[in-house]
Amino acid sequence: MPVSLKSRPEPPDRPMLENAMPPPLLSDRHAATAARLPGSGLAWLGDLRGQALASYRAEGLPTRKLEAWRKTPLDHLAGLDLAPAELTAPPAVDTLPPWQRELVQGPSIVFVNGHHHPGLSRLSGLPDGVLIDSLAHLLEHRPALIEAHIGRLATPKGHALAALNAAFMGDGLVVRLPAGIRLDQPLHLINIAAPGAGAIAIQPRHLVILEAGAAMTLVESHTGLGDTAYFANAVTEISLAPKARLRHIKAQLETPAATHLASVTVSLGEDALYDAFTLNSGALLARQETYVDITGRQGEARVNGVYLAAAGQQQDNVTRIVHDTTDSLSRQNFRGVIDAGGKGVFQGKILVKRHAQRTDGHQLNRVLLLAPGARIDAKPELEIYADDVKCSHGATAGELDEDALFYLCARGIPPAAARRMLTEAFAGEAVNEIADQTLRQSFMALVRSWLDTRFGAPA
Amino acid sequence: MAADIETVEQVQSVGADYKYGFVTDIEVELAPKGLNEDIIRFISAKKSEPEWLLAWRLKAFRHWLTMEEPNWAKVGYPPIDYQDAYYYAAPKTTDGPKSLDEVDPKLLETYEKLGIPLREQEFLAGVAVDAVFDSVSVATTYKAKLEEQGIIFCPISEAVANYPELVKKYLGSIVPYSDNFFATLNSAVFTDGSFVYIPKGVRCPMELSTYFRINQANTGQFERTLIVADEGAYVSYLEGCTAPMRDENQLHAAVVELIAHDDAEIKYSTVQNWYPGDEEGRGGIYNFVTKRGACRGRNSKIAWTQVETGSAITWKYPSCILQGDNSVGEFYSVAITNNRQQADTGTKMIHIGKNTTSRIVSKGIAAGRSDSTYRGLVRMQAGATNARNHTQCDSLLIGDQSGAHTVPYIESTNPSARVEHEATTSRISDDQLFYCRARGLTSEEAVSLIVNGFCREVLQTLPMEFAVEAQKLVGISLEGSVG
Amino acid sequence: MALLEISGLRAAVDGKEILTGLDLAIDPGEVHAIMGPNGSGKSTLSHILAGRDGYEVLSGTVRYDGADLLALSADERARAGIFLAFQYPVELPGVTGMNFLKTALNVARTSRGESEMDAMDFLKFVRARAAKLGIDDDMLRRFVNVGFSGGEKKRFEILQMAVLEPRLAILDETDSGLDIDALKVVAEGVNAMRGPDRGLLIITHYQRLLDYIVPDHVHVLANGRIAASGGKELALELEEKGYARFLEVAA
């Protein structure tokens, strides 16, 4: 049939459009907060926040009508009387949880409710020229540096949560490594949520800029205190110049009252490496979004993770690796362990652009369902426009292999212990992607302590 | 190796262009252009339908008016004007032919040109054919012989008249009138298609085949096929499609429903070769098709095989609802796109019963400036204890202007169910091409040979007669794709 | 008292009777070989003794050390001293060989009321046994059976036996897929385990393995029962004349 303007008859009794929606979450709090945000006197920043707010107001909080949020309801947030985490409140924390204190040997920078806590941070002995500071501090003292980088990679358009973050952004970690500088010890970015009586929104904005040939390991840990609900919406922008190498390891162990949304956007220069690992085991709902744009030849992205969901929890992982140049490589290895009443979501994508010849991309998402009532929704995706590529993905879901269980039992290991051992090995295959041995062991210990709660201590 | 040589010869023997692009000059009766309740009443009256069917059509139409055209598939096309088309076109001479002798000789000639000589098929090939020309079925062969065994194979319009209880029981039971935009449109305006019923314990002794032909300009084709295999029955059904070359796009929105009861098996094979449009993407069929089978009974099985080489746009997801314990669903697909074609196709396997198994093998080949997408869903519901799925999706890119995409959805809520999905994307390597050319093959022959090898696993599942045609098509579809 | 005593064992898989009345007794210190053609029930027997699910015992008894073996779960049998060397050892991605051996040894020790072996002692203990089988530290650090060759898998099975020191070891087609050198290494490993308190049951299709592990008794399994028993010379006779006459007799 000929193609011309669409002229379908109107349905006879189409309902009236619903009344205008209420303003989306937190947007009505902006006016009262804006004047007190760090850098509120900076015109460019005011514009940035204003545009982001408008964009967020237009789009609203993501709903399940959006393909990317089809399996991830945020309805529960509407029921919270969220307030932006207070700027002026005295630090609510004076000691760190032991696991967090011991996770990394090296310098650390602490954020409580998204605001820098200098008293708990340890940043001495860094090489000359290395900048590790808080966004709030730099907005006051070196706004030009921030202006050059902030909002360049995580743009608000089409990404309502990044827009919401941008509307309120005022603090976070800023790291800049000059060319050729390598940090020997990992930098530990410690995040603690300490909501008081009322629910709070914590929206840090982190910037990591590695100049040519610079290298470091950034370890992020997330935890919370008390049982008041909180909403963390972190946005991280990472810019890696040619030959820069960033290893980015994260442990998310928020409280069961938390909603933890985090997006990381990475721009990868020639021969640069972004090597990420995320352990998600905390929060009521956690969602890790990792967007890597490989724009430099021979860039390499490794995005790996383990997600552990107990009853009532949902753990999401969203990845999008864009191969935008020739001869680049990406690897993804995710393992999910889901218990009864828990839910996992994996949406991974490899996008190879037309000119990105000789791309080598692989993605794997494997999930163990430990008991009836566990649920996984996975969507591993390949979108490929170049022909000389080697791209593949794999995805599995199921329970432990019966043959393997029997093999262990035939060696005298009781069934419960055998299950635990195989589950640990299963998750361990992704933890093994962590290059640093000490960190690998620390993260394996975190996985084990989760398994202890599920299976009891090992045999 | 013999088969490969055969492939090469077949490809050589066929011309480079779409050979089914001719138009048959025949008098037709058309309903007025446009779509409204009067047109639907007209179609229903033309077919002397009972009141319940008209009511069902109208219910579908009213629902359709409230629906939005889906836009989630990875296909792009300008808006379709649903009012600027004929929804009924029938060859004037056919008023229900009693035998082939009463069929207009021009139509018989058309089918001969298409390689479907109805007379010979009847006498020689041992394949029962139902030929659907634009909106109506023009001939069904072998009917008498099938009736001896209680097998019903006839145009669905005839089934409505002769077996109203069967049709009423099953029509819309798998694809309800409200299912999706295109299926709902089909429910409102469907004109013809085939009806198959295999009684208890009967193994259909021959392949059943329907040949669909769009001839008339400005028409859409909306056929509806319903196949029921009763307990322990078996049937293999084949479907082929062609259309004339025209500069405008024509809409094909079919619905196929399959029902397999206990221990029954249905094998449904399609070679879809609708006119794909020209090299610049002018013309071609918009193929928006809903195909779904329900394995209602224990130990039942439904296998879909499709070779999709035609159409400007393919939007098609033949699916299985695995309801009965131990039931089996299979989907084997080759989708080849060239020039400006776009295909978004795949399957859904919904595991409901215990010990249900499904297997998906998808081979996508994209050449020219085309896009080929596999989109599929495997769902393990809570009751699908010990269910199994294995999915293999391979994509092959030819040239650097095409795109190949894989979008699987995996949902599981049963720990004992196991889902395994693997996908790869690659191209024909220069080494492979050179090796073939060093043995004397032209580039096109080499591509045809290599692609046929790539698709072998799927082509092998086709009945013999179709496998040969499909192999040829693979070669033809890719002509001009290598320099 | 016999170490293992099987009486009138009938067993089915998916409703099909595979073992049709099998009798066998193994005393401590004895090495028995069961030979039989494909489909005679050899693997069914080894799996039933090890406690694999999916086999239905229709009648008969299996007594181990005087107690009802069939009442025990697979892991309880293993801790009670039964060891099955698998025909097809399973891959355990993510589980290192060392961790696996240590876990298995320590559950056995704990169940016997012994203390767990400390890490250094364990390392010495395993290395000494591994060296004899040509297994180096690198192989012990790899994941169990992942990427192992056929020979490596079988050697690793024998190492497990050496570490766990079972009272009754069942070798299921241990010679399959081995070349002659690997076969010798494995056989030496097995022979080193022979002793007055330990019983060995070797299940095999070919007598080749029995050239290296010389049995005290040889049984022919045909159609699910013992069709003949004799000394080691019976194996040679089978090699020469085949199984045909036993199949005829039984049929």
pLDDT (tens digit, 9 = 90+) per residue, C54-85? Answer: 899 999 999 999 999 999 998 899 999 999 99
Which residues in chain B are closer than 8 Å to A7, comparing Cβ atoms? 81-84
Q: Does A433 touch chain C (CB under 8 A)?
A: no
**Contact yes or no for B397 and A6 at CB 8 A:** no
A277 lies in a domain?
yes
Expressed in angstroms, the distance from the first to the final Cα of chain A is: 70
Same structural domain for residues A291 and A405? no
Taking a C-beta distance cutoff of 8 angstroms, is the pair C211, C218 a contact?
A: no
Name every chain C residue with its beta carbon within 8 A of the beta carbon of A434. none
Pair A290, A417 in one domain: no
Chains near B with 3+ CB pairs less than 8 A apart are A
Hey, is A334 helix, strand or coil?
strand
Within a domain: A202: yes
Which helix (H) or strand (E) segment is C161 a member of?
A: helix C150-164
- Residue B21 is predicted with a pLDDT of 63
Look at residue C251 in the predicted model and tell me its pLDDT. 41
The mean pLDDT value for C101-109 works out to: 88
Cβ–Cβ of A4/B81 closer than 8 Å?
yes
Is residue A61 in some structural domain? yes
Which segments in chain A show pLDDT lower than 50?
Answer: 1-19
Q: Which of A277, A296, A315 is the last residue of a domain?
A: A296
Q: Which of A247, A265, A296 is the last residue of a domain?
A: A296
ipTM: 0.88
Q: Is A64 on the interface with B (CB under 8 A)?
A: no
The pLDDT score that the predictor gives to residue B453 is 84
pLDDT attached to residue A387 = 92
Q: pLDDT-based confidence at B4, cuts 50/70/90?
A: very low
Domain co-membership, A269 together with A414: no
Nearest Cβ partner for A425 among C84, C90, C94: C94
Q: Is B440 helix (H, G, I), strand (E, B) or coil?
A: coil
Residue B271 has pLDDT above 80, yes or no: yes
- B404 at A interface, C-beta within 8 A: yes
Instruction: Find the mean pLDDT for residues C36-43.
Output: 88
Look at residue B99 in the predicted model and tell me its pLDDT: 58
- Confidence tier at B437 by pLDDT (50, 70, 90): confident
Rounded to whole angstroms, the maximal C-alpha distance in chain C is 57
Nearest-by-CA chain A residue for C85: A410
Q: Do A406 and A288 belong to one domain?
A: no
Q: Most A CBs within 10 Å: which of C92, C109, C156, as the mutation test of the A interface?
A: C92
Closest CA to A244 of A175, A307, A310, A308: A175
The answer to whether residue B119 scores a pLDDT higher than 80 is no
Chains A and B touch (3+ CB pairs under 8 A): yes
Residues in chain A within 8 Å Cβ distance of C106: 459
Contact residues on chain B for A375, CB-CB shorter than 8 A: 411-413
How near does any CA of chain C get to the CA of A428, in Å?
6
Report the C-alpha gap between C60 and B303 in whole angstroms: 45
Q: Give me the torsion for CA of A414, A417, A421, A427, rounded to 10°.
A: 140
Contact A14 B66 (CB under 8 A): yes
CA atoms of B63 and B177, how far apart (whole Å):
8
- DSSP code of residue B125: I
Query: What percentage of chain B has pLDDT greater than the value 90?
Result: 51
Residues of chain A in contact with residue B413, where contact means CB-CB under 8 angstroms, are: 369, 372-375
Q: State yes or no: pLDDT of B444 exceeds 60.
A: yes
Judge: A398–B412 Cβ closer than 8 Å, yes or no. yes
Question: Could you report the per-residue pLDDT of C111-153, keeping only the tens digit for each?
Answer: 889 998 988 899 999 999 999 998 999 999 998 999 999 889 9
Number of structural domains chain A divides into: 2
Interface touch A412/C164, C-beta < 8 Å: yes
Cα nearest neighbour of B214 on chain A = A1
Amino acid at C66: G
For residue A238, is it within any domain? yes
**Does A437 lie at the interface with C, CB-CB under 8 angstroms?**
no
Do A68 and A216 fall within a single domain?
Answer: yes
Same domain for A290 and A406, yes or no, is: no
As a whole number of Å, the CA-based R_g of chain C is: 18
CA-based nearest distance C78→chain A, Å:
4
Shared domain check, A433 and A285? no
Q: For the segment A209-260, what is each residue's pLDDT rounded down to a tens digit? A: 999 999 999 999 999 998 999 999 999 999 999 999 999 999 999 999 999 9
Spatial separation of the C-alpha atoms in residues B43 and B36, rounded to whole Å: 11
- How far, in Å, CA of A287 to CA of A280, rounded? 9
Check residue B381 and give its pLDDT: 97
Decide which of A296, A325, A347 is a domain's last residue: A296
The answer to whether A12 contacts B83, with C-beta atoms less than 8 Å apart, is no
The answer to whether residues A286 and A409 belong to one domain is no
| SS3 category, A232 | strand
pTM of the model: 0.87
Q: Return the axis-axis angle of helices A415-431 and A437-455, rounded to nearest 10°.
A: 150
Token pair 């695995």: residue: B322
Residue A136 lies in a domain: yes
Integer-rounded Cα Rg, in Å, for chain A is: 23
Main-chain dihedrals φ then ψ at residue B455, nearest 5 degrees: -95, 0
Q: In the prediction, which pLDDT does A312 show?
A: 96
**pLDDT for the residue C169:** 96
Over residues B290-317, mean pLDDT = 95
Query: Is A41 part of a structural domain of the chain?
Result: yes
Tell me what the mean pLDDT of segment C154-163 comes to.
94
Greater model confidence, A423 or B86: A423
The predicted-structure confidence for B216-239, as pLDDT tens digits, reads as follows 666 778 889 999 999 999 999 988
Chain C nearest CA to A299, separation (Å): 29
Q: Residues of A numbered 369-388 whose beta carbons fall under 8 angstroms of chain B's beta carbons: which are they?
A: 369-388
Interface contact flag, C90 A429, Cβ < 8 Å: no
Asked, for residue A354, whether it belongs to a domain, the answer is no
DSSP reduced 3-state for B450:
helix
For chains B and C, having 3+ Cβ pairs within 8 Å is answered no
User: What integer pLDDT is reported at residue B1 of this predicted model?
Assistant: 32
Name which of A406, A412, A432 is nearest C104 (Cβ-Cβ).
A412
Query: Over pLDDT 70: what percentage of chain C?
Result: 98
A289 with A435, same domain: the answer is no
**Enclosing H/E stretch for A307:** strand A300-309
3-state secondary structure of B215: coil
What value does the mean pLDDT take over residues B392-403? 93
Full domain range(s) for residue A211: 30-296
Q: How many CB pairs under 8 A join A and C?
A: 81
Task: Report the Cα A284 to chain-centroid distance in Å.
Answer: 15
Q: Is residue A351 situated within a structural domain? A: no
CB contact under 8 A, C73 and A409: yes
CB atoms B81 and A67 under 8 Å: no
Closest Cβ opposite residue A394 in set B72, B417, B421: B421
